[in-house]
Chain A
């Protein structure tokens, strides 16, 4: 009898446990904080002409590929002041990650690599970090000759070896570190 009672209590308490339900809390949406959705290279000429090359991926690691867009026209044999911006547009208002890159300048460097350079364009660094090495947020862009199909690859590296051979002049080969952004801009020079 005692046995049966004991078993009965056991089964009862088990069923009580399994039937208890949870509170239906709706989770909070997370807007990715550090993800870079947008890389925006703004080129300003001495005469005030502005050209913008932009790569934007609003679904982050989602399936949609980044959108590439160009505003304005790059003129031949013109020197532009280049400013690059890294934005997280998943946040509202958009977060400007460029500021963090600047603050931690010694741990970051932006590389500009031409994979197709019919124009013979060039980019030179105009900023330095606390150790006197370039960061690459501010640059001078020389457009070169009239041409089409030029390809510029912009890479933001975290913790590169800035002292390695060629790195301070913008050669990515020995830079190492981890890639935070890697976008490809195609442009024409008119």
Chain B
């Protein structure tokens, strides 16, 4: 049929060729999205070399056309240039749709220096590749500390969990290329499984304002995105090699990307990192080596109207835990706290022995989108994650090389969203999400399960809207509902079940009685409603104000519900509680932003009130054959967190720049009138940077000053140590002293050819080799933090 038409057209056109050249072409230019006419577009007629312009109604007219092909190239300030051809065999009228949409253009064309923010009214900071590349040999948690108000809670130097305004773990959502990371994030010593080298841009959103990602982000959302897709025929890559003195570490990372004009793209990336034992100024931190292997593939087609993407990521981290932190009982903990140096110090080694973690995270995603005329864009995504976590403890006999913890967490998610952006003054987005998760705790470890087997079902639906009142004021509003069901099967010691009083409240959950152990089948449902609303007011070029309120709730995580046993490195018995309910946060925030050529300032304030805030606290002592242990129980209280984050930047002249990042956070347990544990102390980071156009040279000196945390709960306790026949005070609460670290960073970029360059960066962290311990490092009882570290990094861009 098609060929007949084409044949007919050719026949007609060849027939009409003999006719005179008097045909008229009437064109009408319309926006693809909303059909509004496009005025003042330039229309270039290739055959005659003449130009035409569209009028107020988007119309234009070309006269004196001959029969044959008419090729028009349409260009407009806010549009991608489009070329169309028509066969002319008489007077013709055509509507031509063009892409008039500045927002989307940023996605598909090469425009530098555009902060693609995820939200309009939340406190959001974007970190770009230029910043991230400094952390290639470190972790994502280290890089995030570039944002004022973001700190980290560490286990040694390799396990770095980001903390936003004093909140971490399950209170944060982490997204990797639009996939919510599911990697046992409840664990304080479980670092996010994300390779910083696979990421091009990170957005840190404080609070729960970004409802599209989830309703339980009481602390915030961290969105990481891979490289933007370029719509041109190009092939480029980069290779980074680095070495560091502390830990004698080295790393290599390489990435190759291919893009085509038609929108096809493919990108592969791989990275390897290895380091041995880190060192403090005075001694080796035995067994702190780590080894990391990462690989990602991304490919697909991205056009304005439709596209798809497949993404796969693999990351394996093997991380040694400081040997001196393995303790047997309270007596050992007391000796460790009282000793100035760790109790085990051996010679430097790359070996990673127990205690250690070996975690493999795999993520696969397929995404498809289509844009509909006069409507908007529909996305559909399926993703699968497989998280395999092994933790090895110091064990004896046949079990020596057997993992003490073996958890496999598998997650399937199907999600879809619709963005209605056809209207010029407001934007609507709807989304729906379904998730199934299965956790399997392998019994072959021969150690009672820390976290039980469970199935989890999540369902979420949300709507957000953005309304541009006028050129200065933008309002947004969002609503979300989430349903969560957790269906677990857990063995309890009969004695524990009764001690908790579960035999009275939950006797119907028992499905098997093995005498000393009971098998329970708790099934809990949670319903959560979240709301977010705010404004963004741009007073003028310099001043703008942002305000936001959000309501969010978080159901208890598996650890808060089910923990039940001895936590070796902390020498405490941790107990979850089946009676816990969700916690609910009401957060208000306000920001003031000042922008000028010379000076930039962002001041962010927040107040977060959390009802039924879940936390862990010591409640008593229990005797075991290893000795006495304090019991820490998950409890709920009403809490408040508030604080201010400042970020300022001042340019003295073209070469010198001063910047400051300061954050101050307070956390209180309102019911018991005492401070919350693990709240970051006042921190201020000041940098002075010199830049020069010569080889894009820059050098900066940064002072990172962390005050002593004076607001902390006193969880100290007294214990009788039988072997020395003494009752001693176990000080697990007092924070370490303040410390100031100096860091140096310098780089040059050498042009190696037209399209290639070599970036050389030299950095020295802890320049003065200062001895310090950080309050937010869980290994602070056992050893100092890292000493001086000199790093050299070569990045070849081609």
- Whether the pair B326, A178 counts as a contact (CB closer than 8 A) is yes
Given contacts A22-B438, A26-B519, A34-B396, contact A17 B449 (CB under 8 A): no
Which residue from B494, B519, B625, B725 sits with its C-beta under 8 Å from A183? B625
In whole Å, how far is B400's beta carbon from the nearest beta carbon of chain A?
9
Q: Is A158's beta carbon under 8 Å from chain B?
A: yes
The answer to the question of A18 belonging to the interface, with a C-beta cut-off of 8 Å to chain B, is yes
Q: Is A55 an interface residue (CB 8 A)?
A: yes
Instruction: Report A37 CB to chain B, min CB distance, Å.
Output: 6
- In the complex, are the beta carbons of A64 and B495 less than 8 A apart? yes
Evaluate contact between A10 and B416: CB separation under 8 angstroms.
Answer: yes
Answer whether residue B470 sits at the interface, using C-beta atoms and an 8 A cutoff.
Answer: no
**In residues 135-192 of chain B, which contact A (Cβ within 8 Å)?**
none
Contact B722 A7 (CB under 8 A): no
Instruction: Please give, as numbers and ranges, the residues of chain A lying within 8 Å of B101 by CB-CB distance.
Output: none
CB–CB B625/A55 < 8 A: yes
- B372 contacts across to A, CB distance below 8 A: 2-3
Q: Does B331 contact A (CB under 8 A)?
A: yes
Contact A159 B394 (CB under 8 A): yes
Segment 96-143 of A: residues with Cβ below 8 Å from B: 97, 99-101, 103-104, 107-108, 111, 113, 115-116
| Chain A residues closer than 8 Å to B455, beta-carbon distance | 22
Q: A181 contacts B625, CB within 8 Å?
A: yes
Known: A18-B459, A34-B397. A172 touches B375 (CB 8 A): no
Tell me, rounded to whole Å, the shortest Cβ–Cβ distance linking B305 to chain A.
13
Chain A positions 21 through 55: 1 when the CB is less than 8 Å from some CB of chain B, otherwise 0: 01001111111111111110000000000000001
Q: In the complex the two chains form, is A158's CB within 8 Å of B394's CB?
A: yes
Q: Which residues on the A side are within 8 Å of B487 (C-beta)?
A: 22
What residue of chain A has the Cβ atom nearest to residue B458's Cβ? A18
Judged by a CB distance under 8 angstroms, whether A179 is at the interface is yes
Q: Which residues of B contact A18 (CB under 8 A)?
A: 434-436, 457, 459
Is A26's CB under 8 angstroms from B566's CB? Answer: no
Known contacts A3-B372, A7-B378, A14-B414, A29 near B519 by CB under 8 Å: yes
Interface contact B344-A176, CB-CB below 8 Å: yes
Contacts of A176 in B (CB 8 A): 335, 343-344
Q: What's the tally of chain A residues with a CB closer than 8 Å to chain B?
A: 69
CB-CB contacts of A132-173 with B at 8 A, as 1s and 0s? Answer: 000000000000000000010101011100000000000011
Q: Is A94 an interface residue (CB 8 A)?
A: no
Residues of B within 8 A of A38 (CB): 625
* B453 contacts A27, C-beta separation under 8 Å: yes
Are A29 and B491 in touch, CB under 8 angstroms?
A: yes
B27-57 with Cβ < 8 A to chain A: none
Report the separation of the CA atoms of residues A159 and B286 in the bound assembly, to the nearest whole angstrom: 15
- Report if A58 contacts B (CB, 8 A): yes
Which residues of chain A are within 8 angstroms of B414 by Cβ–Cβ distance? Answer: 13-14, 17
| Contact present for A26 and B489 (CB under 8 Å) | yes
Within residues 503 to 521 of chain B, which ones have a CB less than 8 A from any CB in chain A? 511-512, 514, 516-517, 519
A59 and B625 contacting across the interface, CB-CB below 8 Å: no
B418 part of interface (Cβ distance < 8 Å): yes
Q: A18-B457, A34-B397 are in contact. Are A115 and B495 (CB under 8 A)?
A: no
CA distance A184 to B626 in the complex (A): 10
Q: Pick the residue among B396, B436, B443, B629 that contacts A17 (CB under 8 A).
A: B436
Q: Tell me whether A71 is interfacial, beta carbon within 8 Å.
A: no
CB of B445 within 8 A of CB of A181, answer: no
Contacts A61-B573, A65-B623, A176-B335 given; indicate if A27 touches B495 (C-beta within 8 A).
no
Our pick among A14, A31, A59 for the contact of B432 (Cβ within 8 Å) is A14
CB contacts under 8 Å to A, within B447-489, are 447-449, 452-453, 455, 457, 459, 487, 489
A79 interface residue, CB < 8 Å from B? no
Q: Which of A25, A30, A101, A180 contacts B445 (CB 8 A)?
A: A30
CA distance A28 to B415 in the complex (A): 34
**Residue in chain B with minimal CB distance to A13:** B414
Tell yes or no: B412 within 8 A of A by CB: yes
3 closest cross-chain pairs (CB), A and B = A179-B328, A33-B446, A100-B397
Residues of B in contact with A (beta carbons under 8 Å apart): 326-329, 331-332, 335, 343-344, 370, 372, 375, 378, 380, 394-399, 412, 414-416, 418, 432-436, 438, 441, 443, 445-449, 452-453, 455, 457, 459, 487, 489, 491, 493-496, 499, 511-512, 514, 516-517, 519, 565-566, 573, 622-627, 629, 722-725
13 contacts between A and B (CB under 8 A): A3-B378, A27-B449, A27-B452, A30-B443, A35-B625, A36-B625, A61-B448, A61-B622, A63-B495, A63-B622, A151-B725, A176-B343, A179-B328
**Told that A63-B496, A158-B396 touch, could you supply 20 new A-B pairs with CB distance under 8 A?**
A2-B372, A17-B412, A17-B434, A18-B434, A18-B435, A18-B459, A22-B436, A26-B489, A29-B519, A30-B446, A55-B625, A61-B448, A61-B565, A61-B622, A97-B396, A100-B397, A104-B396, A178-B332, A182-B627, A183-B625
